[in-house]
Amino acid sequence: MSGGNSGVKVPVLPGFFWRPLELSDAPALHTLQKECASFAYSPPPKPFEKLYAEMENAARTLPGDSLCAADADGRLAAAAWITLDDGFRHELRAYLADCVHPSWGQEVNVYLIKWMEARARVRFAGWEDTRPRILRLDVEHQDRKVFRLYESLGYHFTLAEETMRRPLDGTIPEYALPAEMGVVPWSAERAELFHKTYLAAFRDRPGFPAWGLETWRKAFTESEGFRQDLSLLVLDGTVGAAYAVCMVEDNTGWVLQFGVNTDYRRRGLGAGLLAELLRRFRKAGLAEAALEVNVNNETARRLYIRMGFAVTSVYSSFRKTMPI
């Protein structure tokens, strides 16, 4: 038995058969994710309600874009699904996700990744533009053996980020922004100034993509949960000195992007802006604040720890470019 267009032999899992995921599989998939997390150095999976909502939203594509190994009682031994993202002007993305019970070997992982690649190739064929086709594996486990597997299949490690959180019911450090600087929330009219501050904040970072205004705006301000009132720009006259783009999800205030103009560093703007965000999050009735930071960004990590944040999980991203 072959893996369809994947060119890989379909693993035989006694007592299980391969089929697409269905919405009714949500409880079994959540159980599988919890079982995988217990063995793969991972945090607990997202709440069941969130998983169900995601599957419900993807119900139209599940028949073609997912695969699972299920037994007659509905238990799952493995599952995989792809999600396409056409939201970036510089590339087309397919996010690959799989979960294999630890009792089964890497043969199943390889099969599912190859199956997802083949399915992504079919889906990518529906676009006729020349943007690079990118496959992404974003994982929260820290299983080095699986990382080596990804690399053997042509995926390249691109980054690792920590998720850091802090409750909002405790004391917020009393840092403040310079009195001569102003703070304004996001507005469509200020989009270009926010974007200029983003460019100025990260221009010295190796490999900085320097997204154009529309690409950056779509990625950070058009997501569900984006909050204009909690996304702030610090102004020194008419110059953006620091900024933050924020969203709210499940009573958590997320700092999606946060930066200080390189010309304004070492003036306390990072601590002052973050403290202002925490105060506004609490005033909005949120329970906690959260953000993500590159594991190699020691300066930012020290600031976040000083502000009361603690690491709750780590995710790593691998990518592979498919030929057009």
Residues contacting residue 73 through CB under 8 Å, at least 6 positions apart: none
- Has residue 3 got a pLDDT over 50? no
Residue 159 lies in a domain: no
Looking at residue 230, its pLDDT comes to 98
Domain boundary among 92, 122, 154: 154
Half-sphere exposure (Cβ direction) of 18: Cα atoms closer than 13 Å? 17
46 pLDDT tier (thresholds 50, 70, 90): confident
- Is residue 40 domain-shared with residue 138, that is, in the same domain? yes
Q: Are residues 87 and 199 in the same domain?
A: no
Domain membership flag for residue 215: yes
Last residue of a domain, one of 125, 154, 183: 154
The span from the CA of 122 to the CA of 126, in Å, is 7
Provide mean pLDDT across the span 66-94: 93
Q: Are residues 237 and 179 in the same domain?
A: yes
pLDDT at 202: 94
Count of domains forming the chain: 2
- pLDDT per position as a tens digit, 145-196: 889 999 999 999 998 999 999 999 989 999 999 999 999 999 999 999 999 9
Domain match, 88 and 36 both: yes
**In which residue are the tokens 């792809």 written?**
82
> What is the per-residue pLDDT across 117-134, written as a single tens digit (0 to 9) for each?
999 999 999 888 889 999
Whose tokens are 């999800």? That residue is: 249
Burial label for 210, CB within 10 Å (0-12, 13-18, 19+), is exposed
Residue 6: which pLDDT band, with cuts at 50, 70 and 90? low
**Is 72 a member of any domain?**
yes
What residue numbers bound the domain in which 231 lies? 165-318
Same domain, 87 and 175: no
- For residue 1, what pLDDT band results from cuts at 50, 70 and 90? very low
| pTM listed for this prediction | 0.80
Q: Are residues 309 and 214 in the same domain?
A: yes
Instruction: Provide mean pLDDT across the span 132-150.
Output: 90
Which pair of tokens denotes residue 311?
A: 């690491």
Is the per-residue pLDDT at 141 higher than 90?
no
pLDDT of residue 207: 79
Percent of the chain with pLDDT over 70: 97
Q: Which of 135, 154, 173 is the last residue of a domain?
A: 154
Q: Would residue 323 count as lying in a domain?
A: no
Question: Which CATH number fits the domain that encloses residue 76?
Answer: 3.40.630.30
